[in-house]
Structure 1
């Protein structure tokens, strides 16, 4: 039976007409599936951009790659430029700076062909920011220069003024990192403000952007004046930024950050009433949207300020709130343990006679094991003493060397084949970060109570991803252990070398080393040294006598 006859008699017994309709339908269907137009691509962009601004922006990447392929098929250059811009934003916001730097030049070429100078400027700016984050400052200079060149080519209007304002603001931060003279930094901040002020408020979506940029510039100025010791000027610019936040539609999180900075600023100036005023205001704002990290900083400012104002109850209250927020997981664990203990007590009351027999048997076992335990304890103590002797000997021999606990990361060979230590940044950037981390250790900034991964990252001018990577690779430990080891090593040296430290109470030693509580300090100390701080002090005193 021929193919045509098969379809006529078996598939479509009603006749040839039905068969023709079948072929027409499926031909149109498959043709429709293959048609790619600018309109269908723009619909794909709507889906991709929804993910770009969501909590999972990486979901947009495969969609954008598909859009890019479709754009290439029909020669849609504007679409290609748009894809490049979106990918640069996603990679930068996820701190994947290598991908920003290595973004294909095809995106820039396509944007240039259609004279999309706005997206060209944006991509070059993000490349400059990426190089700056990696500490490759000369490369960053080149990208910022290109970003400005193409931003100037944008037609006059809000997009141009906004692009220039953002570039000058980013460039000011970049110059600060480069150690450029203050007058150059100041000039770029003023340029950023001047461009932002040109933005017309006739377009509603640009109003928030305009005032956010101006306030951001004032905060940079305030921070730099504060660092230079000009606290009066710093205060003026902080308040200028606050005035904008009070009267203009600027994102809430930016306002909470500013008020938190003000609280910390006045605390450092010993104007504790003002520090309390702004920190309390920050907490009221923070309740409208949850920012736990900011809340923790506000609790700390309030605790310190109230302590200086001799309002010990309030100071203790905020210290407890700070500790509770910091150790929330531990609190849940303690609650679970408490419930378990209560249940066991109830079971005990229900079966007391059975327990009496069990305790009698247990006492016999304990008597039998007493001697063995004593011998084990004596041996363990001897091991602890030997460990302390070795430690004190090391401290004496290596007075000027890096911290003992912090210097365990020299064995690079053991890491070279680990999959998780594949290089994610250029070697020269690693070296720069290691130098800055060494300076952080020399300045003993790890003793500050506010130390956290974001705090240290800001101090050495990088991001949390790269800081974690550097510590893991070169110190062979996570961030918390790295900081704890530095702190314990510091206090061991102090106790060993300065008799005054042997007179301090444990809570004073805990505060000196930046721990949130004496119990946390004692736990970490014992984990590192093998005995409690009190036992260690007794041993050093006994040895000294």
Structure 2
């Protein structure tokens, strides 16, 4: 009875609070209501923020104000979980579909992108950001263009492309004018400092962290202060000042965990790395296991989780705790699958150390061992024999694959040397194409829409593009190339497909890989570069993309190819 009474009392108190709040809100205009909502939302006062958003939407509907109804839906979605939030954004899209001006639908796509980003659907987030950017450019809305660009930069930073993201953050931080408000300006500074830490621009990162901590806006906003505490801790971790890092990260974690903010996982990761560097594995395990617990509840991942599960698996393997080892292998495989779906690549080191097939095999061995624990003494010889056979099988399988890769590399080298000799005799300096393009089977199956004179002009431009090695420039897209040769993407795509026998991406990759194959044979200095430098030299943003394209085209890897060149020179 007492419990029921307390519940009823709480219910009527909340009704009384809401009614009093609504009575006070009647005195405020839309801008004042938005400001009040932002204060509550940033302070994680969800109930108060919901009361304001509900009143805002009701007021706008009563006044039949379309733009304010849309803003009401926007406020409402901010305080709801994903399914309900998405419905409010759909309502926003519906109410604004006939609105004239330069804000919608670009703003709707950006808001939807933010929602997907918040709930870790990075592909959907990026798709919506790109649509938002396209509409913003069509409508020439500088603010919307900036918001879309900044959100894509946030996404790039999350995906590890911090050098690219830093350029965008720095540009808008220094050239924001009236585009961003104080909060957005500060978030760009936070993100820029983070990017600088990741790309080892320590002095620049330190400058922006101190600037942020000293700004009046941050000093009066506890959430933002703790963001800078986290960044400062990360900076200390980067510079190996572990005790200072732990002190600041612990403060940040206390705050973020108290409001159940996802930043707590990034802080936990940095704390775990501090203790890992201090060789205090027990403390590192404490923080890494807490990350796993949090991720299991929210299903929100981040790229560094691979490091976390690698450490946990190794730790419990070393300690002979097979049940926990098995548990974290399962967790790693689930996270790895999601990350693989979200990103085009994972950490090379993680794949080398724990590639999926080996983990699955290890999982099966452990399961069988645990099931047969009572009879282990009787079957140990059989298990050891099986393991030995498996290891032998994988060893010879690996050796066979390596031998095949070396043979492919040797054949390529001989082919290139032969073609270079022929090219020298014909005085043709054009980079040798190692493989003939795939020919179109039947001209009658191809619908030609490009006028003949335009087609010939594009083909001349493509010859110029190839002969002058413009394909080595970074960031080339179908759109940028079409713009450079003064045509449209449809014509250019059709010409490449019909005359080169491949799509644009394959065409660009083939030119770059053919150039690399040729230069590695001819140029000792080029061959001495590290793989990341070679990748950058021929237009790739990262070594993973280069390696994938190289392997796809040739059937071998860049490192094996270079080793075989060195061997052929010595012989």
TM range (shorter): 0.3 to 0.5
Which of 1 and 2 has higher RCO (CA within 8 Å, sep 6+)?
Answer: 1
TM norm structure 2: 0.42
TM norm structure 1: 0.44
Question: Larger Rg: 1 or 2?
Answer: 1
